[in-house]
Amino acid sequence: MGTGNFGKVCEIREFGTGRHLAAKFASADASRQATLHAEIQNERDIMGILSKPGHPNLTTLQGTLSENNVTYLLMDLGGPSLSSHLAAGKRFTPTQVASLMKQLISGIGYMRSQSIQHNDIRADNLLYDGNVLKICDFGRATKMGILQPTVVLNYMPPEVLSGCRSHNLDMWSAACLMVELLLGEQLVTRQQLNVNDNNHIPLSRGDRNQMIRRQITEAAQRIEACAGKDAAQLFRGMTRLMKSRITPEEALKSPFLAWLPTTAV
């Protein structure tokens, strides 16, 4: 089916019930086995917290299986990744984007209520079957207050790019996704950040933040042109500086999202 942060994902059929599940397992050389074991343990623990009672917009841990020194995480199936839809040329209408964003932000809000931060919200880690969106791949997730692991830099807010912790970076990453869905391009690219192979960013903090704010202003104007003022206002709120960035609860009250039905847990 695909790959995650630490391994591969395949579809299996469960004996007895006949239900189909996704099985995620480690795949790496011996030099990384200790690291992978810790990552697997972290993802299992995080998903265990999030699966009780669970949320319709998060993949749910159904169980674990150990065989021949390999640990499998068994999860409910979702649709193809959102990135695969985008790569195939799928374009979403503003109404469809509103539905996707409401589901994504609802999932982020539930994680936040459980003191969990995903740290890796992007199209690769979102599953979409044409109706329901599910957040997946919790390999980089942490409990609130714990230092974030290595992240995908062009989905990260300025405070993380400056080496600081962030308590609401998932909302910034969701805003980056909103740009991709509505405008068909990234808010900030690795090339614009001048990121090299060692993830070193030679831009000064001031130059980088000025560039990001300029990109946000331009994106908001284009979002307003294609999806209306409410969509642009939501985007601006999600890309504020950390202390004033809107929470999932505040975002769900946005007129761009509030009219949509809420999926029950």
* Per-residue pLDDT reduced to its tens digit, 191-250: 888 655 555 556 788 888 999 999 999 999 999 999 999 999 999 999 999 999 999 999
Superfamily name and number for 82-258: Transferase(Phosphotransferase) domain 1 (1.10.510.10)
Render the burial of 168-177: b for 16+ CB within 10 Å, e for the rest.
Answer: bbbbbbbbbb
pLDDT grade for 152, boundaries at 50, 70 and 90: confident
Residue 179 has a pLDDT of: 98
Order of strands across the sheet that contains 20-26: 2-3, 7-13, 20-26, 70-76, 61-67
Domain ranges of the chain: 2-76, 82-258
Query: What span, in angstroms and rounded, lies between the C-alpha atoms of 99 and 163?
Result: 33
pLDDT grade for 63, boundaries at 50, 70 and 90: confident
Sign for the pseudo-dihedral over CA of 241, 166, 54, 90: positive
Residue of higher predicted confidence among 223 and 153: 223
Q: Is the pLDDT of residue 2 over 90?
A: no
Token pair listed for 59:
């993949």
Q: Residue 76's beta-bridge partner residues?
A: 21
Sign for the pseudo-dihedral over CA of 213, 159, 100, 188: positive
Superfamily name and number for 2-76: Phosphorylase Kinase; domain 1 (3.30.200.20)
Long-range contact pairs involving 24-30 (C-beta distance under 8 Å, separation at least 24):
24/72, 24/73, 24/75, 25/70, 25/71, 25/72, 25/73, 26/70, 26/71, 27/3
- Model's pTM, two decimal places? 0.88
Q: Is the pLDDT of residue 31 over 70?
A: no
Query: What span, in angstroms and rounded, lies between the C-alpha atoms of 166 and 178?
Result: 20
- Decide if 2-76 and 82-258 have a common fold: no
Residue of higher predicted confidence among 212 and 18: 212
Q: What proportion of the chain, given as a percentage, has pLDDT over 70?
A: 86
pLDDT grade for 265, boundaries at 50, 70 and 90: very low
Residue with tokens 């000025």: 210
36-40, 158-162, 174-178: which has the highest mean pLDDT? 174-178
**What is the rounded average pLDDT for all residues in the chain?**
86
Residue 32 has a pLDDT of: 59
